[in-house]
Every structure is written in structure tokens, then in C-alpha cells.
Structure 1
Amino acid sequence: MNDEGRNVDTAITRGCLHPAAGDVMRYFEEERVYSLQIESTLACPQGCRYCYAPPDAGQVRELPAADIAAVLTSAAAMGVRVVDWLGGDPLARGDWHDLALQARDLGLVNNIWSSGIPLADPSIAEQAVAVTEGGFISVHLDTLDPAIYARLHDGDAREKIRAICRGIENLQAFGKPASELVNCITFTRPLAGSDLARTMRYFCEELGMTVCLTQMCTVGGACSRPEWVPTVAEIRDACRARDAICCPGSPRSFGTMDVDKFYCGTAICVTVDGDITPCSVIREGFKNIRDRTLCEIVTDHRDELLFSGMRRKGPSSSACARCEQNSVCWGCRAMAYYETGDPLGPDPKCWRAAGGR
């Protein structure tokens, strides 16, 4: 395979996030759920001021363990392959390890999306590595600059940055390879330009980790921070810098969210309140797990949950479905939902959809 071919494979694998990218793509073609996101708690030590979690997230809520157990059982019966543990920070929950063991015992692979701060505790990092065999662990560090970090987050910026970096060191010390570690960066205007590029280069080039560049959606805490919403031009420049740093030479590129359509089109979420949604950022769901089983909800709402309308090309289809990058990308469905009210519409924060190639 030539160098370009390897880069394409790398781009698709990076966009799937899951190590088994081929399985994700197969599930996408079969319109099946590969990944179940579970928003287990709203508790989080990081204090992101733009968090998409509900505005009352300070009133810490958890999805009851009994509900999680029922969802895990149903997911395994459906052939779901992985659980993406979300929050808040799922590691802030006291029984997180027991829940992850339940998932593993059912044959599900665990992925953990953490702030990274709890992983500074070596015992937590060791448990996280053991329970995510075959999966990934994501931390969340937007910037290495304490002054910028302090604008975006509550608390002691320097100590939180140090804690996240210690957490990464702990994970690697307990055997988690860099290829199974992700740093999730939420792109806001304070990061635009050299700071974002510097952060991505550090994690991608120096540490060998995957970078997941996400965009700030105007939902939850972000609604009170409109000045932090990047312009389309700033998003274009950020994504081009990401492509050059993380996947040089590849003709494939994702738009405003750094996952490809294969990840997006095979994942669903159960929120902390038990609602089933197509995405953790889209807060409006289809039925609740306390009223119907996960399998029943997915059966009745598969088209909406897996964005089936985005898979059909035609005169009336979304511009994202006809884009030159549609082989891997269909824009951010959450961005389309919040900006236009149509989750199947064009992504208004994508420079391609806006006409700026």
C-alpha cells in the first residue's frame, strides 16, 4: 500500500476512534448500533464553563445503577460492541469500576471519556487500564496554557493541567499504549490560532496520542458564552491545522466534529435522565429506558437515532450528504440541530457547507 493509502486508513481509523475501525464501518453499512454512550453522572471535577450538560448540572445527578444494568443487558443482546462511558466525568462516580466490570462480563468493550483529573490517582488509572482492554481512554485538556485554561474552566488551572498530565503518565505506566489514548479538545475562540496548533502537536507528535477536536455547541453552559463560539473561518483554519498535524497527506477530512460518519452513525446515547438520544450533545431524545427497553426504542426509532436520512443522496438530501468529503464525513448533526433545528440539515459551522472550500 502506498503512503497515501496508509494515510487514508489512518484518517478513517482516527475518525472512528475505536481500535476496531473495520467493525465500526460494517455496523454503519448494516445500520446497527456499535457504540452505546452512557452518561452515567453529571459530576465532574473540571468545571468547563462551556459544558453541554444541562444548566443545573451543579445539582449532581446520576443514572441509577439498576437502569445502567438493564441497558447493558439489552445492549449486549442487540449485539452492541462497546460502551462509551460519559459524564460529567464517569470516573467521579463511586461505582464506576463495578459498572465497567458488568459491561466487560457481558462481552462489551469499555471506552472511558474522562476529564483526566481522577486519573492522577494511580489506583484509578490502574483500574481504568485494566477494564478498557481493547478500548480507549480519553482525557480532556484544551490547552497547556494556564491563562487560557483559567478562562475556560473553574478552579486552579495549573493544578488541573498537572493532574491531567499525571493521569496520562499513570495510564502509560500501567501499560495503556499511546495509540489507545485520546485527548479531546473543545474548540472555542480563546484557543484559535497558535495555541490550538501547539496543543495538538504536543499530544499527537510528542505523546503519540489521538486528538479529538470537537466544537462548542450552544447548549447547556455554552449558551451563556456566545463570545466563545468560533467563526466558520476559525473552524476551517483549526480543522486544516488538525489535518496537517494529525493526518498529514491524507485527502480525507472531517468537518466541525472530529469523528467520522461511521462513529456518528453507529452510536446512540442514554442520558443521565434515561432518555435515548442519537448523540450525547443532542439533549432531546426518543423515549425513556424506564418506559421501554433499549432494544424496543432502537427498533422503533432506528432511522432517527442513526441518521438514516443522511445515508441517502438525492436532490432533496442534505448538502453534507453530497459533499466531496462524504465518504468519511457528514458534518456535525448536533451543530445542525442546534443551529437550524434540523438534525439532517447542512452543518452551518462547516466552511464547505458555507461555500468556503
Structure 2
Amino acid sequence: MFGVIDVDQSPLVLIWEVTQACGLACRHCRAAAVPRRHPEELDTEEAKALLDDAAEFGDGQLVVLSGGDPLMREDLPELVRYGTDRGLRMAVTPSGTRSLTRERIAELADAGMARMAVSLDGATRESHDAFRGEESYADTIAAAEAAREHGIPVQVNTTVCADTVEELPAIRELVGEVGVVLWSVFFLVRVGRGGVLTPISPVRAEGIMEWLHDVDAEEPFGVKTTEAPFYRRVGLQREDGGREGSRRRAGVRAGCGFAFVSHTGEVYPSGFLPLSAGNVRESSIVDVYRESALFRSLRNPDGFTGKCGACEFRHVCGGSRSRAYAETGDPAGSDPLCPYVPEGYDGPLPARIAD
């Protein structure tokens, strides 16, 4: 999908939270979004300077404009066009509100939007809207259809937690009907409003990883996981029967192939790992990503602790650094969602995050 990228030099995905303002107040929102824009958001000129710096990662760098709801910024089409002109692939993740009209989608498509991602956390209006605590299902489906009409590839993001896990097979069917190119399945990290939700158990998560590999093989759309890199470990075990090739594939995780810029310019390894390595108002995003001690440490799985540090799959998985930080306060610790215990490991195991 991305070609060969040296993740020590460039992220595969650069997320920029253009605003935390949003008309929704979803129960799982990482950003704990609010109705109004923050007065210290990056302004248009600062935003363009960030995109100029991002272009130094190389032609075709993927930049995802996220939020909050990025549509709360009047200059969003201008930023999409500017980034596209600088050789960036500009994707947008709008909220499913009535502001996401066909006219707004057409304007973004004309500006060069390369992909649009929407969230579906239930297979029906009732289940989706109940989970999000807002009426957004109908607007989300309509927006996905409008994007496809304009030739924009659509991605669907789905949160996996105790409230949604039973819906996954039905959501799979809906994703196929919508005609998306990618289903991104996000395994809950308890930050922001999501801190009150209940994650699934590690054993349940392992089973879902197996199922998702089957889905990926059977469906025309791609499947990826977010904050669950042991999906790659499961895939390797299925292919190789265990340990062969355990260093064969590099993966994306917080700080390694992934970076996040907040609405006020703070640079985090992930939006779910809110440790700042610098601010784009003071330093280039390129320098922060490549040279900061935090990012460099997260790209060195040999420095991880516990069973993640001992795991033979650490170079292709590495565990969710965000979940390790959220649950233990240590971004180098073990991912408590992964049930795998390396052979011969007799050290401490992370506390279970769910029964």
C-alpha cells in the first residue's frame, strides 16, 4: 500500500489533529472534543508551514487531517489543496454530522482529497447511534456514498470494545455494502472519553485477530488493525507455523512509522500516547520524528520491557505502546491486550485489562 519506506526517516502515516472542535460528543472520543475551536490552534499560515515541513519526508507522504471534526475549520479545503500541491497525499476523517454534505465533499474532492475515512461502530442506525451517543449513522452512510460518487476512496474505522464486539460480523457485511477500500479496526485504548469503556479480554482479542485475517482473505477490501500490532504476529504464526520469518516484516506503531500533531502543534508518537516530543511551532516535524529521544526509543523494540521486550515477534509487532502507557504509565512496557507469552519467558506479566 505504501511502498518501501524507512520508518526511521519517515512515518507511513502523519496524523494532524486540525481542531478538537466537533458537533458530536462520542463516548469513545480520544480528544474529548468540544463544541468550539481552541484559540491556540495552528492558524492557516502555521498549518501551511507544517505541510511544507511534512513534504520534506518525501513525495507522496500521507497526511491525515483529523479532529475533532476537521470540517469545523473553514480553511480545510485550502489546506487540502495546499498539501496536494506540495506532493502530499491528503486524507480527511470528518465526523458524521449534517455538516458533511455532498457539497462539502465535492469541495474537498476538487481540492485533491485522496481518501476519506468515516466511523461505523454499529451495523444499524440503532446500535451505531447508541454507541456514539449521537445520531450520526445516516449522515455517515450518506457521506460515504457521496465520496464514492466523486471517486474518493473510502475507509471505515470501527472501535472494538465490549459494547461493539458482537457487532463485528454485521459491521463487516455493512462495510462490504458501502464499498470501502479499507476497514480499520481500532482496539480500544482507554484515553479521553474512552476511559470509561470496557475493553475486550486478551483471549477474545486473539480470536478476533484470527477472524480478521480470514476477513482480509475473503473480502475485496483491505483490513488493518489500529493499536493492535499483534495482528501481524498472528498472521506470521498462521503462515509460518510459528517462528520462521519473525523479523521479515516491519510494522507501524506509535512513533515507528506513525506520528501525530495536536491542534496546538504538540508532536506525539500517537494521539493515544500523549507524550510530547516537541512542538511544530518551534521545531520541524521532520527533526522531531527523526531525532527526538522519545521517537527513537519507540523505534527500538529491543529496549522494551516485560514480555514485549522478550518476544521474538517484537520487530514486527512491538505491542501497542499507547496501551502500555495508558495502562501502566510506561510506553516501553508490555501491551496488556496481547495474550502471547514468549517461550521460556518467566518474567512478570501485565495485569489483565478485562476478564
Instruction: Note closer, same or farther for the CA distance 1:191–1:98 as it changes in structure 2 (3 Å cut).
Output: same
Q: Following superposition of structure 1 onto structure 2, how do residues 1-357 of structure 1 map, counting pairs within 5 Å?
A: 19=1, 21-23=2-4, 26-28=5-7, 30-54=8-32, 57-61=34-38, 62-79=41-58, 81-117=61-97, 120-132=100-112, 135-156=114-135, 160-176=136-152, 180-193=153-166, 195-204=167-176, 207-223=179-195, 225-226=196-197, 228-248=198-218, 256-257=227-228, 262-264=251-253, 265-301=256-292, 304=295, 307-310=298-301, 312=302, 319-320=307-308, 323=311, 326=314, 328-352=316-340
**1:255 & 1:100 partners in 2: Cα distance?**
24
For residue 205 of structure 1, report the CA deviation from its aligned partner.
6.7
Q: Is the 8 A contact 1:119 1:167 kept in 2?
A: no
Structure 1 residues without counterparts, runs of 5 or longer? 1-18
Instruction: Note closer, same or farther for the CA distance 1:118–1:324 as it changes in structure 2 (3 Å cut).
Output: farther
Counterpart of 2:247 in structure 1 is none
Counterpart of 1:11 in structure 2 is none
- Equivalent position SS for 1:48: coil
For residue 196 of structure 1, report the CA deviation from its aligned partner.
1.5
* 1:263 counterpart letter in structure 2: V
For residue 97 of structure 1, report the CA deviation from its aligned partner.
0.6
For residue 206 of structure 1, report the CA deviation from its aligned partner.
6.4
For residue 31 of structure 1, report the CA deviation from its aligned partner.
3.8
Instruction: Note closer, same or farther for the CA distance 1:207–1:299 as it changes in structure 2 (3 Å cut).
Output: closer
Q: Is the 8 A contact 2:145 2:178 kept in 1?
A: no
Structure with greater helix share of residues: 1
Instruction: Note closer, same or farther for the CA distance 1:343–1:99 as it changes in structure 2 (3 Å cut).
Output: same
* 1:329 counterpart letter in structure 2: C
Counterpart of 1:10 in structure 2 is none
- Equivalent position SS for 1:287: coil
For residue 154 of structure 1, report the CA deviation from its aligned partner.
3.0
For residue 345 of structure 1, report the CA deviation from its aligned partner.
2.2
Q: Is the 8 A contact 2:186 2:226 kept in 1?
A: no
For residue 332 of structure 1, report the CA deviation from its aligned partner.
1.6
Structure 2 residues without counterparts, runs of 5 or longer? 233-249, 342-348
* 1:352 counterpart letter in structure 2: Y
**2:162 & 2:299 partners in 1: Cα distance?**
32
Of structures 1 and 2, the one with the larger relative CO (CA 8 A, separation 6+) is: 1
- Equivalent position SS for 1:27: coil
Q: Is the 8 A contact 2:50 2:285 kept in 1?
A: yes
For residue 322 of structure 1, report the CA deviation from its aligned partner.
5.5
Q: Could you tell me the TM-score, scaled by structure 2's length?
A: 0.78
Q: Could you tell me the TM-score, scaled by structure 1's length?
A: 0.77
Instruction: Note closer, same or farther for the CA distance 1:66–1:338 as it changes in structure 2 (3 Å cut).
Output: same
Percent of residue pairs bearing the same amino acid type: 20
In the alignment of these two chains, the number of paired residues is 318
